[in-house]
Amino acid sequence: MTSALLPAAAEHAHRTAHHHGVQEPTLVAQYRHVRAATEALVADLSDADATVQSMDDASPAKWHLAHTTWFFEEFVLAARIPDYEPVDPQYRFLFNSYYEAVGARHPRPRRGLLTRPSLDEILAYREAVDEAMLSLLADAQTDEEAALVTLGLHHEQQHQELLLTDILHLFAQNPLRPAYAPEILAPVIADPRPAPEWIRFTGGVVAIGHGGDGFAFDCEGPRHNVLLQPYQLSSHPVTNRQWFEFIEDGGYQSTGLWLSDGWRWVCDHGIQGPEYWEEREGTWWQMTLHGMQPVDPDSPVTHVSFFEADAFARWAERRLPTEAEWEHAARNLPPTGNFAEGHALRPLPDRQNTAGVLRQMFGDVWEWTGSAYLPYPGFRPSAGAVGEYNGKFMSSQMVLRGGSCVTPESHIRATYRNFFYPHQRWQFTGVRLADDV
C-alpha cells in the first residue's frame, strides 16, 4: 500500500469506539458501520430492483453489494488466511470489476444478466465474509493490513454513492417513475439569503494534495507546489434558475459555446437540458430519488456533463475553476454540507445567511473543474492489483470536487479527486464558476 494510506490505518487501529456497549477497536466499529450502511440502502429494494442494469455505465445494486464484499474476500481474507476457502469460487469471476492482475471477469455491460445468485444469496455472501472479517480484525493488525481494510471501507463508501445514482438512473427508465425513498422536508431558513457574489483569492505558490495524517487515496498525492494566478470563485454553485436562463437564451443551440466533442454529443443525443429533466406544459420537472418533482429554481443544477458545464461557463463569460484553485479555496473550510446522512438525497438551496464567504463547497453536487485527471508530480501507483485502483484511469477524464448529496460525509475532504468522462452526467454533477482577477 502507498504511504498515504498508512497514517490513517495506524490511527484507526489504536483508537477505540463502542458497539452494543462493548469497547472495540475503531477499525472494527468502522467496518460494522460502513457495511451496515450499504445494506440499509437496499432494504426496500426487490430482487428485480437490485438485478436490472439500466446502461453500461451503471451496475445493479446486487452487483455493488457483491463486489464490495469480493474486495475484502480477495484482498484481505485470501491474502491473510492460509488456505482460505472462498464462499463461492465463481464469485471471483462474477464480481471482479477491473483488476487485470486478479484475472478474467464477467463483462461490465452484462452485469444485469446475473439473475443468479439472488439478492438473498448475495446478502448471505456478505454475512459470511463479514463474519470472517470480524474474526480477523479481532487480532492485532499491522499498519499495512489496517491500511488495506481502511481502503476497502472507503471503496465501499464510493459504491454506496454509485448504488444510489445507479438506482436513480434505473428508476428514471421506468414510465411509472417510482420513488426510491419518501421526501424528507428540509428546514426552511427565512429570506433574504445572500445573492451569489465573487470571492477573491490572491493566488501565489500554494501546496496542493494530501499530506500528513488521515486517509487519502493514492491519487491525492504527493503534496506539491502549484503557482496560481489571482482568481475568484462564485460564492454559490450554479442554480437551476440560472440554467433556465441558459436554456431560454438558446444555450443548447449555440454552436459557438461548445467544445467540438461537446457539440457532437449534443447533436448525436438531442440534448436539450440536464439529465432527468422533462418539460410539462411549460414547466420543468426532474426525476429524483423521491420520484418526479418540479425543478426547484434555487437548488444547484445537477446531472450536467462537463461539456454542459463548460458551455454554460462560456455563455456566462466565465470559466470553470482548475482543481488546484478549487482545493486552495476549500482548504480551510469544514467539509460539512448536504450529504447522504441528511437523507435529502437531492441538492438543496443555500441555507446560510452569511455574505462574503464560499458556500456549498461540500455536498449537494460534485463540481466540475477544468482540469484533466492526471497524476501529480511524483505519483507512483502501488505494486500489485490494488495499484490498479486509480492510476490506470488517468486518461481522458475530468476532475470533480466537493462531494454530493449522496456522498457519505466521512468519505470527503478538500483533496478528494473524483473523475468522470466529459459526457457522463448520471452522477450528481454540478457547476461553480470561476474567473481571473
Give the CATH number of the domain where residue 68 resides: 1.20.120
State whether 33 and 138 are in the same domain.
Answer: yes
* 118-129 tens-digit pLDDT: 999 999 999 999
pLDDT at 157: 98
User: In which residue are the cell numbers 460502513 written?
Assistant: 34
Amino acid in position 176: L
Q: What is the mean pLDDT of residues 334-339?
A: 96
Name the pLDDT band for 197 (thresholds 50, 70, 90): very high
State whether 24 and 152 are in the same domain.
Answer: yes
Comparing 64-73, 148-157, 188-197, 338-347, the range with the smallest average pLDDT is 188-197
Name the more confident of 290 and 11.
290
* 236-247 tens-digit pLDDT: 999 999 999 999
Number of domains into which the chain is organized:
2
Average pLDDT, the chain: 91
End residue of a domain, out of 172, 188, 206: 172
186 is a domain residue: no
Q: Is the dihedral of CA 178, 63, 337, 437 positive or negative?
A: negative
Q: How far apart are CA 67 and CA 227, in angstroms?
A: 40
Name the pLDDT band for 100 (thresholds 50, 70, 90): confident
Specify whether the CB–CB gap between 352 and 262 falls below 8 A: no
The domain in which residue 145 lies consists of 3-172
290 is a domain residue: yes
73 is a domain residue: yes
pLDDT at 98: 82
256 is a domain residue: yes
Q: What is the mean pLDDT of residues 213-223?
A: 93
- Residue 251, pLDDT > 90, answer yes
Q: What is the mean pLDDT of residues 55-83?
A: 96
Q: How far apart are CA 257 and CA 273, in angstroms?
A: 15
State whether 244 and 166 are in the same domain.
Answer: no
Q: Is the dihedral of CA 230, 236, 240, 245 positive or negative?
A: negative
pLDDT at 13: 33
End residue of a domain, out of 157, 172, 187: 172
State whether 136 and 216 are in the same domain.
Answer: no
* 367-420 tens-digit pLDDT: 999 999 999 999 988 776 677 677 788 899 999 999 999 999 999 999 999 999
State whether 144 and 228 are in the same domain.
Answer: no
- Residue 190, pLDDT > 70, answer no
Specify whether the CB–CB gap between 219 and 424 falls below 8 A: no
What percent of the chain clears pLDDT 70, i.e. is strictly above it? 92
182 is a domain residue: no
189 is a domain residue: no
117 is a domain residue: yes
* 342-357 tens-digit pLDDT: 999 999 999 887 889 9
pLDDT at 16: 31
Comparing 36-40, 101-105, 241-245, 431-435, the range with the smallest average pLDDT is 101-105
State whether 338 and 419 are in the same domain.
Answer: yes
CA–chain centroid gap for 314, Å, is 26
184 is a domain residue: no
Q: Global pTM?
A: 0.92
State whether 269 and 403 are in the same domain.
Answer: yes
End residue of a domain, out of 115, 137, 172: 172
- Residue 1, pLDDT > 90, answer no
Specify whether the CB–CB gap between 44 and 164 falls below 8 A: no
Specify whether the CB–CB gap between 386 and 148 falls below 8 A: yes
pLDDT at 379: 92
State whether 349 and 418 are in the same domain.
Answer: yes
- Using left for φ > 0, alpha for ψ between -120 and 50, and beta otherwise, residue 8 falls in alpha
Q: What is the mean pLDDT of residues 141-155?
A: 93
Name the pLDDT band for 183 (thresholds 50, 70, 90): confident
Q: How far apart are CA 155 and CA 383, in angstroms?
A: 18
State whether 397 and 345 are in the same domain.
Answer: yes
State whether 107 and 242 are in the same domain.
Answer: no
* 20-35 tens-digit pLDDT: 344 456 999 999 999 9
Give the CATH number of the domain where residue 402 resides: 3.90.1580.10
Please, which residues bridge with residue 227 across strands? 205
pLDDT at 314: 98
- SS3 for the chain is CCHHHHHHHHHHHHCEEEECCEEEEHHHHHHHHHHHHHHHHCCCCCHHHHHCCCCCCCCCHHHHHHHHHHHHHHHHHHHHCCCCCCCCCCHHHHCCCCCCCCCCCCCHHHHHHCCCCCHHHHHHHHHHHHHHHHHHHCCCCCHHHHHHHHHHHHHHHHHHHHHHHHHHHHHHCCCCCCCCCCCCCCCCCCCCCCCCCEEEECCEEEEECCCCCCCCCHHHCCCEEEEECCEEEECCCCEHHHHHHHHHCCCCCCHHHCCHHHHHHHHHHCCCCCCCEEEECCEEEEEECCEEEECCCCCECCCCCHHHHHHHHHHCCCECCCHHHHHHHHCCCCCCCECHHHCCCCCCCCCCCCCCCCCCCCECCEEEEEEECCCCCCCCCCCCHHHHCCHHHCCCCEEEECCCCCCCHHHCCCCCCEEECCCCCCCCEECCCEEEC
- Residue 282, pLDDT > 50, answer yes
State whether 203 and 155 are in the same domain.
Answer: no
State whether 282 and 227 are in the same domain.
Answer: yes
